[in-house]
Chain A
Amino acid sequence: MNINFTLVSQAIAFSIFIWFTTKFVWPYLLRAIEERQQKIADGLAAGERGKKELELASQRSSEVLKEAKQRAGEIVIQAEKRASDIIEEAKKNARVEGEKILAGAKAEIQHEIFSARESLRQQVAGLAVQGASKILRREVNAKAHADLLASIETELK
C-alpha cells in the first residue's frame, strides 16, 4: 500500500505504451477502416447509380418501343394509302387505255363499215348496171346508151 518508485516506473511504461499506440497502432488501423468505409460507400453509390441507369434504360427502351410502334403504324397507314393510290391510278390508267382501245376499235369499225358500204355500193351498182343492162340488152344499144349507163354507175357510186 505504500507509494514508491514503482509509480514513476509505471507512469513511464504507461507513457511509452500510449506513445506506441498513438504512433504505430491507431493511425494504421484507422486508415484501413476508413478506406474500407470509403470502398463500401463507393460500392453502394455505384449500385445506386446502376439501379438508376437501369431504370433510365428501361424507360428509354419503352419509349423507343412506343416510338417504333407508332412509326410502324404510320408506315402501315402510308402503305395502305399508297396501295389504294396505286390501285386508283391503275384503274384510271386502265380506263384511259380501255377508252383508247374502244376508240381505236370504233374507228376501225367505222372504217370497216365504210369500206363494206363502199364495196356494197359498188356491188349494188354493178348489179344494178348488170340488171339494167340485162333489161336493156334487148331494147337498148349498149353502145348508144353507154354514157347513160356510166352516169348511172357514177351516181350509184
Chain B
Amino acid sequence: MKGLRIIVLAKQVPDTRNVGKDAMKADGTVNRAVLPAIFNPEDLNALELALRVKDEIPDTTVTILTMGPGRAAEIIREGLYRGADGGVLLTDRAFAGSDTLATSYALSQAIKEMGEFDLIIAGRQAIDGDTAQVGPQVAEKLGLFQVTYVEEVLKVEKAKITVRRRLDNGVETVKAPLPLLLTVNSSAPDCRSRNAKLLMKYKHARTVTERQAATEDYLYLYDARPFLNIHEMTVNEIKSEAGQLGLAGSPTKVKRIENVILQAKDAKRLTAADKGINDLMKELIDSHVIG
C-alpha cells in the first residue's frame, strides 16, 4: 500500500502538572519562565499514532507542525529523535495573542502551504488550556472530516481509515474517508522513547534563526545534510488576512484573571471542636451547598 502523508500538530506547553509556588506572579499572571516547557502530552500520543501507521506502511511520512516562539523548535527535534521525518515551525510576532480560533486559522493556512496530505493528527487538547478546540477548528477551516478522542488506528485502506474512539462511557469504532483530521486521547499508547541513532542523526537539526545564532562551526552541515533544516515558516510564507491573525483575529478576550492559589489562602481553619463543626454545617446548609 502507498504510504500516507501525515501531519502531526504539536504544541510546546508549560508543564502545568507540576506547578510550584512561584508559578504565579503577584498580579495573577503565569510566570512562564519558571515552568519547564514540554511537548504537550497528548500530542506525543498523536505522534505515536502517526509513527505506528508508519511502522505498518513504510512509505509513510510524518511531519510535525507547531506554532510558537523560536524555542518551540525543541519539540520538533524531540519528534525527529522519536521517528518523525521532518518539521515545520510556524513562528511570527503576528501570531502573538492568538486564541484557539486565530491559532487554527494560522495552522490551516500553513498546512495549505505544506503540500498534499492524507491525515492530520493532533492531541485532543493541550494542558495549558484544556480546550480541545484547535483540532476541530482546523478541520473545519480545511473542510475536512474529523474524528476526535481516538486511541487506536485499527485499519488503513485505500482512502479510508478505521479507528477506535474512547469516550467517557465506552468505545466507538468509526470508519472515515481520507483526508481526515484525528485528535488523540491520553488513553492511546504512550510515545516511544528517543532512538539513539535518530538522536545522533538529528541533534544538529536547526531552524534558520537558530543557525544564525549558532556559534558552533556546524554551518557547513546544513548544505550537506538538508534533513537538518527545520523549516521555519513566518507570516510571509502563508496566505493570510491580517484581521484573522493574533489578537485581532481572536473573538475571545480575557477580561480578568484570578489566581486560584492566592484565593485559597483565606481558608477557614477549624479543629475537631464541636462549635466550629456545628457552625460549618449551619453555614453550608444556609448557603444551600448541602441539605
Say whether A and B bind each other.
no
Q: Could you tell me which A residues sit within 8 Å of B by CB distance?
A: none
Q: Could you tell me which B residues sit within 8 Å of A by CB distance?
A: none
